């Protein structure tokens, strides 16, 4: 690992994982942290298991097509709880404000957070504010933490994956990462791109109710995108195969990726959940997702296999296969 922090350490890829493993996990070592879930699962309180998560948001620009840093902060924390099977309840919000930030900008962000929290059915119940010198915070940084409750008996995680499981996603990949990047660079395409930022907890609750006991693992495909999520799952001692033609990607995202030399499989999403489910429940799950406003473009994209353990294999439309490895650099920095 490099002896200096690089932008790639925040990409969600190989360097991010090395930083977590070699610095944070080594010193903070405990059984709850070592599970490395999106939300930490705390001891059972009798009526369910508490889930706790935290995240920080440094996206630039603060406002982008389809969202803003405030909406993003709420959705990111709600979604980390939801993919752990938790029903999100309470959030905190910490603000680092740069001297010179306009109050109008701050209020726009705070109003967006309040509206998104209302949509998700959560409350912001505590917080903190700090002000730093001009030039020290790029306008505004936000940290949020969240608490939710996992219903009794619900068990999710990579350790429950098994050969034959079907992998689904609730819609197109790469929308958020490309929308932010194009806005930042001042680029425009004939088909404008918008972020997919959305709270997924109600979609996920609907799915879990429709196929009780059939969902084995879920993850929201944020930094590092779909490819990184799938590579993280293979560490549980399984292989994964996906069909390139089945992964939904907007034409505008494909065009932007070709222009910029990027791969949509690694581009960040903020409203997409990757789901591994029992094969017998896959069609019911797909229909359930497609009936929800946040899942109209849901698709079955692949499966878990007992072959090529530890690897993600992509089947191309030309009959070839290629290995999809974990992101190694900073493809799209500062997108969340």
CA distance to 5, 13, 334, per residue, from 23 (Å): 12, 16, 22
Mean pLDDT (the chain) is 93
Find the length of the chain.
Answer: 336
pLDDT tens digits, residue range 283-305? 999 999 999 999 999 999 999 99
pLDDT tens digits, residue range 92-132? 999 999 999 999 999 999 999 999 999 999 999 999 999 99
Question: What is the pairing mode between strands 215-220 and 273-277?
Answer: antiparallel
Confidence of residue 135 (pLDDT cuts 50, 70, 90): very high
pLDDT tens digits, residue range 243-252? 999 999 999 9
At a CB cut-off of 8 Å and minimum separation 6, what does 170 contact?
Answer: 200, 203, 271, 272, 273, 275, 289, 292, 294, 295, 297, 298
Whole-number pLDDT of residue 295? 98
| pLDDT average, residue stretch 212-236 | 96
> All domains of the chain, ordered by start, with CATH?
49-152 (3.30.1330.10), 158-323 (3.90.650.10)
pTM over 0.85? The answer is yes
């Amino acid at each position: 690992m490099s002896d200096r922090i690089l932008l790639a350490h925040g990409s969600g890829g190989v360097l991010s994982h090395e930083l977590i493993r070699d610095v944070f996990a080594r010193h903070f070592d405990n059984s709850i942290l070592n599970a490395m879930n999106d939300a930490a699962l705390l001891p059972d309180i009798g009526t369910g298991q508490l889930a706790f998560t935290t995240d920080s948001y440094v996206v630039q620009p603060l406002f982008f097509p389809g969202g803003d840093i405030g909406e993003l902060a709420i959705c990111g924390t709600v979604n980390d709880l939801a993919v752990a099977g938790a029903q999100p309840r309470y959030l905190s919000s910490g603000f680092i404000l740069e001297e010179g930030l306009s109050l109008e900008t701050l209020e726009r962000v705070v109003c967006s957070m309040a509206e998104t929290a209302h949509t998700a059915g959560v409350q912001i119940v505590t917080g903190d504010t700090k002000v730093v010198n001009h030039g020290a915070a790029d306008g505004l940084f936000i940290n949020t933490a969240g608490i939710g409750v996992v219903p009794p008996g619900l068990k999710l995680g990579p350790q429950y994956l098994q050969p034959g499981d079907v992998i689904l996603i609730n819609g197109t990949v790469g929308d958020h990462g490309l929308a932010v990047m194009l806005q930042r660079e001042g680029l425009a395409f004939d088909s404008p791109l918008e972020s997919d930022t959305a709270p997924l907890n109600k979609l996920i609750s609907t799915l879990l109710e429709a196929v009780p006991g059939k969902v084995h693992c879920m993850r929201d495909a944020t930094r590092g995108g779909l490819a990184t999520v799938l590579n993280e799952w293979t560490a549980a001692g399984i292989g994964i195969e996906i069909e390139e033609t089945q992964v939904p990607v907007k034409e505008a995202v494909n065009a932007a990726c070709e222009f910029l030399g990027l791969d949509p499989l690694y581009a960040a999403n903020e409203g997409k959940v990757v789901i591994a489910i029992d094969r017998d429940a896959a069609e019911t799950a797909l229909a359930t997702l497609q009936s929800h406003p946040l899942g109209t473009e849901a698709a079955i994209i692949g499966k878990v296999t007992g072959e090529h353990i530890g690897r993600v294999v992509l089947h191309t439309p030309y009959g070839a296969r290629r290995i999809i490895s974990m992101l190694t650099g900073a493809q799209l920095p500062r997108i969340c």
